[in-house]
Amino acid sequence: MRHLALLTVLATSLVAVACTPHAYTPSARPLPLSTAQAPARGESDVQLDGNATGEVLGPGIFGGNVRYRRGVRDDLAVVGDLGLLRVDGDNHGQNPYAGTARVGVQVHAPANDDLHAAAFAGVGGGFAPTAGGYASADVGGMLTGTHRYVRPIFLLDLYASEPLGEKPFIANQDNLGTSDSMRTVELPRTVGVQGLLGFDLGRRDRSVMLGLAIAQLHTFANDVQEARSQTFFGLGGGFRFGAI
């Protein structure tokens, strides 16, 4: 098992089925590890996290993200994300990096004594020098426990991404560089649904976050590749600072 990976696979994320490389366009927030609790009016928090996403036995994507949340009401926060992604493996001299950005809102409130609930939505996109740019929108919901030190996270996220322009690039299933493992592809229109199980551990004003996700992605056919559906996995962790 070369990489566990997931949900929002990056713009240059290439996967292979039956030895045929395939491109998927990611969400603007590939691994949405977060808490349902959000800062109250006038308060804010910052989260730094990293993740690995992709297909079992396929190429992997490594990413880092900075998230800022600011409460505009006691039950409503605005959210901003900036991320950087890198494609693992032999990239044939192509730039392996991509940047992402997203802005959104989060509405939250206690569900009961043991759980806090939230709904979120956002828009954004990304750009990879090798694969080009894309726009993305997402919507979802989550539940987080209310324990003082151990708070489980349950999250469901749906997204759609649209490439901007056509920019073919070389995809490779592995590091062999053989003709049957290489193919010219371009970013396709992609829709996905992702579920995440995680934990927010420690004090509410500074905590460690861990998450495991699984996603089902579907691409639409374009000029150089057929439609396809595939399952991805993701693993992430990070630190959050600020009262919730």
């997204």: which residue's tokens? Answer: 159
pLDDT value of residue 129: 93
More confident residue, 91 or 75: 75
Q: Which residues form the domain of 54?
A: 13-241
Q: Confirm whether 2 is domain-assigned.
A: no
Q: Confirm whether 212 is domain-assigned.
A: yes
* 56 pLDDT tier (thresholds 50, 70, 90): low
More confident residue, 7 or 140: 140
Q: Confirm whether 36 is domain-assigned.
A: yes
Q: How many domains is the chain built from?
A: 1
The mean pLDDT of 19-48, rounded to a whole number, is 91
133: phi > 0 → left, psi -120 to 50 → alpha, else beta; which? beta
- Looking at the chain, which runs of residues are DSSP E strands? 13-17, 20-24, 44-54, 60-73, 76-87, 97-110, 115-128, 132-145, 150-164, 169-172, 182-185, 190-203, 206-219, 228-241
Cα 51 off chain centre by = 8
* pLDDT tens per residue across span 199-243: 999 999 999 999 999 999 999 999 888 999 999 999 999 999 998
More confident residue, 11 or 130: 130
Rounded Cα distance, 69 and 15, in Å: 33
The mean pLDDT of 165-177, rounded to a whole number, is 68
pTM of the model: 0.85
Judge whether 54 and 23 are in contact, CB under 8 Å.
Answer: no
pLDDT value of residue 181: 59
The mean pLDDT of 181-202, rounded to a whole number, is 91
Rounded Cα distance, 190 and 169, in Å: 17
Average pLDDT score, the chain: 86
pLDDT value of residue 149: 96
Please spell the DSSP secondary structure of 25-87, one letter per residue.
---SSSS----S----BT-EEEEEEEEEEE-TTS-EEEEEEEEEEEEEETTEEEEEEEEEEEE
Q: Confirm whether 5 is domain-assigned.
A: no
CATH no. for residue 138? 2.40.128
Q: Confirm whether 8 is domain-assigned.
A: no
143: phi > 0 → left, psi -120 to 50 → alpha, else beta; which? beta
pLDDT value of residue 175: 45
Q: Confirm whether 73 is domain-assigned.
A: yes
Q: Is the pLDDT of residue 68 over 50?
A: yes
